[in-house]
Homo-oligomer: A and B are copies of this chain.
Amino acid sequence: MIEAAGPACVAVKPQLACFERLGWPGWKALEEVCAAAREAGLLVVADGKRGDVPVSAKAYGQAMVGETDSPFGPVPGLGADAFTANPMLGADALEPLVAAAETAGAGVFALVRTSNPGAADVQDLSTPDGPVHEHLAGLVDRFSGRLAGRDTELSGMGAVVGATAPEHIARLRELMPRAMFLIPGVGAQGGRPEDLGPAFTPGRAAALIAASRSIAGADDPGSAAEELRRSVWEISG
């Protein structure tokens, strides 16, 4: 898949669940996939949506991006360039994940508004200061200085914002002006690239469009990826 679709992509987003269900040989395969992606010049976004209390979040940070100075000696981890995180446990639980990314020069994509229909059950609950997902956006923005880019206004403290509810994207871009957006839900889940323009307000590098199943499940993954690349290029300009 990396060989076929890689040339049209900037990153590979392995879904950790698909490897974990195969036990330790699956985790070994995951490490091999990450290495092959790096070899092909692609970024790796480890999609595990991890989140836990601070002491455990620190261990998840090590698992995702590694740590050279750990008390156990160097921990390689997956060596991911970025990883997804679940922010439901709040700022103190995000902190060790951001710290791990900071040390490794990596990025974090925290869930803000996911692409599944059930997202509404919790993320859209209304509070006196706007829906829950706007509070999650506030959490992301709070950490943006920590993972700030050197030659860009953008930050590696990013947000997962589903393509299936494009009505939120402009507002979330306002609340997170510097965040990279990771946008799943295009293709198989029904999201359309032409609705995603506002995500790219700060420029072409401001969002990653993930279309894993529409590419991996296509008869010709290379063409599917190339077609998607073109449609994203058009709307991101």
B-contacting residues of A (Cβ < 8 Å)? Answer: 15, 17-18, 20-28, 30-31, 49-57, 59-60, 62-63, 75-78, 86-94, 111, 114-123, 125-128, 132, 135-136, 139, 184, 189, 213
Contact A21 B75 (CB under 8 A): yes
Min CB gap A193→B, angstroms: 19
Q: In the complex, which residues of chain B have a beta carbon less than 8 angstroms from the beta carbon of A89?
A: 111, 114, 116, 118-119, 122-123
Bound form: Cα–Cα A77–B18 in Å: 11
Contact A17 B122 (CB under 8 A): no
Contact A63 B17 (CB under 8 A): yes
Bound form: Cα–Cα A53–B87 in Å: 15
Contact B17 A27 (CB under 8 A): no
Closest to A87 in B: B122
Contact A77 B127 (CB under 8 A): no
16 examples of A-B residue contacts, CB within 8 angstroms: A17-B56, A23-B27, A23-B31, A24-B28, A49-B52, A49-B86, A89-B111, A89-B118, A89-B123, A90-B120, A91-B118, A92-B117, A92-B118, A125-B132, A126-B128, A127-B127
19 extra A-B contacts, CB within 8 A, seeds A20-B63, A27-B27, A53-B116:
A15-B52, A15-B56, A17-B52, A18-B59, A22-B75, A23-B27, A23-B76, A86-B86, A86-B88, A88-B111, A89-B114, A89-B116, A89-B123, A90-B121, A92-B116, A121-B135, A121-B139, A125-B127, A126-B127
